[in-house]
Each structure stands twice: as structure tokens, then as C-alpha cells.
Amino acid sequence: MLKAYSRAWCEIDYDAIAHNVDEVRKLVGNTKIIGIVKANAYGLGAVECSRALQKAGIRFFGVSSVDEAVELRENGIEDDILILGYTPPEHFGKLVRYGLIQSLVSNAYAHKLEEYAAAGNATIRAHAKLDTGMNRTGIIYQPDHKHFDELKDVYHLDHIRVEGIFSHFPVSDDLNEDAVAFTKRQIELFDEAIERLKAENIDPGARHIQNSYGILNYMDLGYDYCRPGLLYMGVTSDDEVEIQSAPDFIPILSIYANVSVVKWLKPGETVSYGRHFKAEKPTKVATVSIGYADGLPRILSNQGLKVRVNGVLCELIGNICMDQCMVDVTDVENVQEGDVVCFIGEGLTVDRITRAAHTINNETLTSIAARMPRLEKRNK
Ligand SMILES: Cc1ncc(COP(=O)(O)O)c(C=O)c1O
């Protein structure tokens, strides 16, 4: 039986990342991988995930901010690091100092970077972000726009070295006709912009567009790189969404917590804030030391979510508290203080929690609190 490590904790199977990367490679062939490790690798440990990705042969990482990039550098990650988001001008110096690659989030932004780099006679590495329909960041590209000139222009800045070009899919997860047409149009626009650059003797640099669902549903695009985040963690955003491929991923996350107290309720007694659970019969209840401040969403309260106590599936009852929750363990013999309760792992998917919380796995993972220890999976 698994021994407790803390009051509540994550265990992460970093070794399984190599398997998941192989599954991605089976889909994308020669397209190389930029390992997306932003937001602390979706909560699972940016440095540890990056090291595991390195072991799997990945030499390029994507983060959302300059601070996330610096964290990787300070922990010995010397490979290419692309900052997918905006870096404010006060931090431009770090781009130079740490040799980071900045996304050009607009033409005006590229000029701001150029001005900074020119003043210090430095060169800033960059990838041109092309907005083909997400309308979030990027140099807008539509054929009927003047925007090709804006794209071309950033390749001519003296102190910005544009090493790549990329775009992003908002509906690559959706296989309905409209969504597929939208995604295919994005691909056409991306290709067209690249061809127009080449026609003007401009090397567009490394091309990439596929996020996880872009890989699962549009695996044959053949660009230089793809940008999976969730996939190497062995999950998709939503396991009920139909996909065009059948990869065999291993989910890398487990979550456990300790039983702190076991007690019997008499019929009519209630549990937790709001008294939403009322015992109909004598009921044995275990209090477990994990709550919404650990990342167990409060909205899961009273939804009949199952967890595993000493191997037996048991129901969460009553409102989830900040640091604790309660489980009906009437059918489990010998439950006692210190026993380990499994919330994710042992066949319990993160998707169940996500579904009950009406969100996507990306949010469930990134909501795991900082105070939860993340340790390498034991008992593999
Ligand atoms: C620009 C960009 N590329 C790639 C990713 C990775 O997405 P996913 O986790 O779906 O693979 C993200 C994540 O949101 C992103 O913003």
C-alpha cells in the first residue's frame, strides 16, 4: 500500500513523458517538437518536464513569459526557448542576456524591440507570430490586407533575427464542418504568407502551427515543428471530444491525500458547510486533507465524485472545504488515520474532475495549488 508523503500531494511519472513524446512522433513524422512548458508545465513542473522532454530528445521549449524562460535557463536548460506571449519593454534586456526567442506579437511591437536592440547594438532572436484568425496576438494576415507588408517588414529589421514563423489554431479540436473549414483556411493563409515571403527571397525560418489538437486532427501538415503541451502529459483537453487519431498516451499525473479522521454518523446527521449531505443510515465518514485551496474544485461538491480509499471506490460527500473534504467510507473496512486516498491515478482520470467542473484539463492541471508537493511517481 502507498505510504503517505504529505497531507496532500501530486506524483508525476516523468518517465512516461518519453512514451507520450513517441506517440506524438508517430503522428507527426519528421516534424520536430517544441515542448510547451508554460505555466509551470501546466502545473506539473516546468524544469522537471523540460528535463524529461530533453531525455526524449526535445531541444526546443515554449513558455508564456520571460520569467518562465529565465527559470528554465537558471536551471540549466540551454536549448532554444520561445516566449509565446508578450514581454514588456522593461524586460527586453533579459531576452538578450539569456538568448531567448521572443514572439513578435505585432508589427509595432517588433519595432519597439528593434529600437531597444539597436540602442544597445544587440540582436534579439524572434519568431514572427501570424494571426490567421485567432485574433489574440500576431501580425494579422489576410490576403486582402496590407498586412503582408507588415510581416515582410519585420524580417528586414536590422537588430531582430527572425528565426521562425508560427500561428495558432482556435478550433483544431472541433471536427464539425465549419470548424474544419476555418482551420483549413488558417493553414492556407499560413502557407500563402510563407510562399509570399519566399517569393521575395526572404527565408521565413522554422514553421509551426499545431497545438495538441492540431497534432491529433491535422497530423500530416509537415511543418518544421509542432507545439504540444497537454499531449506529453498523456491527456487531451477533453476526453469526450472526438479526434482523428488513436494515440496510446500514459497520463503522468496522480493526486493523493491523507485520511485525518474517521467517524460514524447517525441517520439525520449532516456533513460540512451548508449541511448538504444528510446521512440516511449509519454512515462511516473519512475526512481527507485536501480541499479547494489545493486545486480540488469546490464545484465538485455533492456531485457524487468517486475517489479510491484503500483501493475501494467511495463517494465524496458534502461541500469541499478549503483544505479538507469528506468521503463516505461505510463500505471500506479498516480505514484509519494516515490511509492514502487517490483522487487522480489508479484508473481515476483527470477528465472526470474536469467534466464535473465544466472546464478543460488545461485548467484542472494549472489549478493545482503551489502548496501541493510535486514528486516523482513512486510505485510505477
Ligand atoms: C501558442 C500556443 N502554442 C501551443 C500551445 C499548446 O497547447 P496544447 O496544450 O493544446 O498542446 C498553447 C497553449 O495554450 C499556445 O498558446
User: What does the pLDDT look like over 56-80, one tens digit per residue?
Assistant: 999 999 999 999 999 999 999 999 9
Q: How far is Cα 138 from Cα 82, in angstroms, rounded to an integer?
A: 14
Please tell me which residue in 14, 38, 223, 256 is annotated as part of the active site: 38
Q: Is the CB of 229 under 6 A from ligand 1?
A: yes
Instruction: Give the mean pLDDT of the chain.
Output: 96
Distance 229 CA to ligand 1 centre (A): 6
Comparing 14-233 with 253-376, is the CATH topology the same? no
Average pLDDT over residues 83-91: 98
Is the pLDDT confidence value at 379 over 90? no
Beta 253-265 vs 283-288: how paired, if at all? antiparallel
Give the per-residue pLDDT at 237. 87
Residue with the bigger pLDDT between 142 and 127: it is 127
Q: CA 56, CA 49: separation in Å to the nearest integer?
A: 10
pLDDT of residue 146: 78
Q: Is 235 touching ligand 1 by the criterion CB < 6 Å?
A: no
Q: Which atom of ligand 1 is nearest to the CA of 212?
A: 11
Q: From the CB of 279, is ligand 1 less than 6 Å away? A: no
Does 203 have pLDDT greater than 80? yes
Question: Contacts by 239-245 with C-beta closer than 8 Å and gap 24+?
Answer: 239/349, 239/351, 240/351, 240/355, 241/173, 241/174, 241/213, 242/175, 243/173, 243/175, 243/213, 243/216, 243/217, 244/175, 244/216, 244/217, 244/218, 244/219, 245/27, 245/216, 245/217, 245/219
Ligand 1 and 352: CB distance under 6 A:
no
Residues 6+ away with beta carbon under 8 Å from 369: 293, 294, 295
Q: Is the CB of 324 under 6 A from ligand 1?
A: no
Instruction: Please give the CATH topology (third level) of the domain spanning 253-376.
Output: Lyase, Ornithine Decarboxylase; Chain A, domain 1 (2.40.37)
pLDDT at residue 277 above 90?
A: yes
According to the model, what pLDDT value does residue 143 have?
Answer: 79
**What's at 112, amino acid-wise?**
K
Higher pLDDT, 239 or 284: 284
pLDDT-derived band at 134 (thresholds 50, 70, 90) equals very high
Strand stretches in 223-351, DSSP E = 225-226, 253-265, 270-271, 277-278, 283-288, 306-309, 312-317, 325-328, 340-344
Q: Looking at residue 239, what is its pLDDT? A: 84
Q: How far is the CA of 352 from the centre of ligand 1 (A)?
A: 22
Given a cut of 90, whether residue 108 has pLDDT beyond it is yes
Where do the H-state alpha helices sit in 79-159?
A: 92-97, 107-119, 147-154
Most ligand 1 atoms within 8 A of CB, residue of 27, 37, 53, 84 to mutate: 84
Q: How far is the CA of 309 from the centre of ligand 1 (A)?
A: 35
Find out whether the beta carbon of 138 lies less than 6 Å from any atom of ligand 1.
Answer: no
Structure-block grid coordinates of residue 141: 494576415
pLDDT band at residue 144 under the 50/70/90 scheme: confident
pLDDT at 145 over 90: no
9-42 confidence digits (pLDDT tens)? 999 999 999 999 999 999 999 999 999 999 999 9
As a whole-number percent, the residues of the chain with pLDDT over 90 amount to 94
pLDDT at 222: 98
Report pLDDT digits (tens) over 305-342: 999 999 999 999 999 999 999 999 999 999 999 999 99
Q: In this model, does residue 238 exceed pLDDT 90?
A: no
- Residue range 182-211: average pLDDT? 97
- Give the burial class of 296: count Cβ atoms within 10 A of its Cβ; 0-12 exposed, 13-18 middle, 19 or more buried: buried
- Who has greater pLDDT, 194 or 146? 194
The candidate with the shortest Cα–Cα distance to 286, out of 314, 266, 246, 323, is 314
Q: Which atom of ligand 1 is nearest to the CA of 230?
A: 9
Does residue 380 carry a pLDDT above 90? no
Domain 14-233: CATH superfamily, name plus number: Alanine racemase (3.20.20.10)
What mean pLDDT is predicted for residues 297-304?
A: 97
pLDDT at 29: 97
In the residue annotation, 380 being an active-site residue is answered as: no
What are 22's three cell numbers? 513517441
Hey, where are the domains in the chain? 14-233, 253-376
260 C-alpha to center of ligand 1: Å?
Answer: 39
What per-residue confidence (pLDDT) applies to 317?
Answer: 98
Least confident interval from 23-37, 120-134, 235-249, 360-374:
235-249
Place of cell 463517494: 315
Ligand 1: atom nearest CA of 64 is: 16
Atom of ligand 1 nearest to the CA of 42: 9
How far, in Å, is the centroid of ligand 1 from the Cα of 305? 29
Q: Which atom of ligand 1 is nearest to the CA of 231?
A: 11
116 as an active site residue: the answer is no
Catalytically annotated residue among 155, 225, 273, 278: 273
Residue 142's pLDDT band (cuts 50, 70, 90)? confident
